[in-house]
Amino acid sequence: DIQLANRVQRIKPSPTLAVTARAAEMRAAGHDIIGLGAGEPDFDTPEHIKAAAIKAIENGQTKYTPVDGTPALKKAIQAKLKRDNGLDYEANEILVSSGAKQCLVNLLAAVLNEGDEVIIPAPYWVSYPDMTLLNDGTPVVIQAGQEQRFKITPEQLEAAITDKTRVVFLNSPSNPTGSAYTKAELAALGEVLLKYPQILVASDDIYEHILWTEEPFANIAMACPQLKDRTVVVNGVSKAYSMTGWRIGYAAGPQRVIAAMKKIQSQTTSNPCSISQAASVAALDGDQSVMGPMLKAFKERHDFVVNALNDMQGVDCVTADGTFYCFPNVAGAIKALGLKDDVAFSEHMINEAGVALVPGSAFGLEGHARISYATSMENLQKAMERMKKVLG
Ligand code: PLP
């Protein structure tokens, strides 16, 4: 047999994509399944963004671009980071990649040696631990349960740091919980990190614009300016502009780290898609009010789903600050149904209620489920009714 590399054994396929596949399979077999597993907005990409892509094709922008992104897109990203975040970056402090996901993988590949530790607050986005393992790092998970609104404390952060810690992940607003850190909370985490100059922060801001708190969005570089030269801000157009398929993300951070990430990208995938880059310029420079109706819909669905969940036996759901996810505690329901764990709960829900959701353990916190409300209100109403019938 052909040998497979050890690194393949270290990682597992994405469980969220697995749920989507399972739901599709059951649908194909004739079952009526409502998918609440999706990790992407259900809206179409705005017209002016599509038009920019079509124009780029017609203008012949169909060739290789600079590895780290076109000058026009880098300029639009610089302007965005200044406008929304008050952060200044030079062009050589920015790298455009094929999605925020590639930015994060480039980052870990650029800074980790074998055995280096990466702090990952749980519940976490499913890919962080596997990306770390793929790049020879060791994930160090901090548990942040519902009682602390799924956010780590400065004390927990300090306790997790060792002399092998190289990277700390922060994701606010969070996939899977929808919780966002306040600026003051980030500043308090920053106070701890200031004591450890070898640590780099990976700030995953991909849900920045899907936020409904009174306080505006903040990341750790904004909350703690002294940490800016040790923070890599990662963001993209996928979630904000409903552009998941276009595959454009970007990283902004210290020049030396960005240059290393660029070097890796130059020997792996080269530049991201030229047409998608042109579309992303239109997204970032264009009318920002296109996000308004999407945000409004997500908030309305959030309110509906959280209320409906809290009306079910054995389910307890805290409100989210943003994103299109909530992360109910279903421990009571698991017990009442005589099930083993949250994986069995998800199985039960897809089989008995025809509702596909992702078990919390996929995100590092058992006894929960992630519900995505990136689907129509009609689907959500039907899904909540069916779940309630099964749970009482
Ligand atoms: N970071 C988080 C927390 C996400 O949820 C996702 C997508 O699900 C990404 C990054 C990846 O985004 P992109 O589509 O830009 O690769």
SS3 state of residue 150: coil
* Count: domains in the chain: 2
Same domain, 249 and 198: yes
Length of the chain: 392
Ligand 1 lined by 244 (C-beta under 6 Å): yes
Boundary-marking domain end, from 227, 259, 287: 287
Ligand 1 lined by 165 (C-beta under 6 Å): no
Q: What pLDDT does 99 receive?
A: 98
Domain with residue 99: its CATH number is: 3.40.640.10
**Peptide bond connecting 173 to the previous residue in cis, omega within 30 degrees of 0:** yes
Domain contains 113: yes
Domain contains 1: no
Q: What pLDDT does 176 receive?
A: 98
Same domain, 114 and 92: yes
Q: What pLDDT does 17 receive?
A: 75
Going through the chain in order, the beta strands assigned E by DSSP cover 34-35, 94-97, 117-122, 138-143, 165-171, 200-204, 231-236, 249-252, 325-326, 355-356, 358-359, 369-372
Domain with residue 306: its CATH number is: 3.90.1150.10
Residues of the chain below pLDDT 70: none
Query: Which atom of ligand 1 lies at the shortest distance from residue 248's CA?
Result: 15
Same domain, 283 and 303: no
Same domain, 338 and 190: no
Residue 249 alpha carbon to ligand 1 centre in Å: 9
Query: Which atom of ligand 1 lies at the shortest distance from residue 204's CA?
Result: 1
Domain contains 190: yes
Same domain, 115 and 264: yes
Ligand 1 lined by 125 (C-beta under 6 Å): yes
Query: Which atom of ligand 1 lies at the shortest distance from residue 102's CA?
Result: 16
Ligand 1 lined by 249 (C-beta under 6 Å): yes
Same domain, 170 and 230: yes
- Ligand 1 atom 12: residue of nearest CA: 100
Alpha helices in 286-341 (DSSP H): 291-310, 331-336
Same domain, 87 and 32: no
Supply the pTM of this predicted model.
0.97
Phi/psi for 166 (5° steps) reads -115, -35
Domain contains 207: yes
Domain contains 15: yes
Q: What pLDDT does 16 receive?
A: 72
Domain contains 55: no
Same domain, 36 and 102: no
Same domain, 141 and 211: yes
- Ligand 1 atom 5: residue of nearest CA: 175
Range of the domain at 295: 6-44+290-391
Boundary-marking domain end, from 287, 317, 352: 287
Boundary-marking domain end, from 287, 318, 344: 287
Domain contains 49: no
Residue 229 alpha carbon to ligand 1 centre in Å: 23
Ligand 1 lined by 323 (C-beta under 6 Å): no
Same domain, 232 and 312: no
Dump pLDDT digits (tens) for 77-98. Answer: 999 999 999 999 999 999 999 9
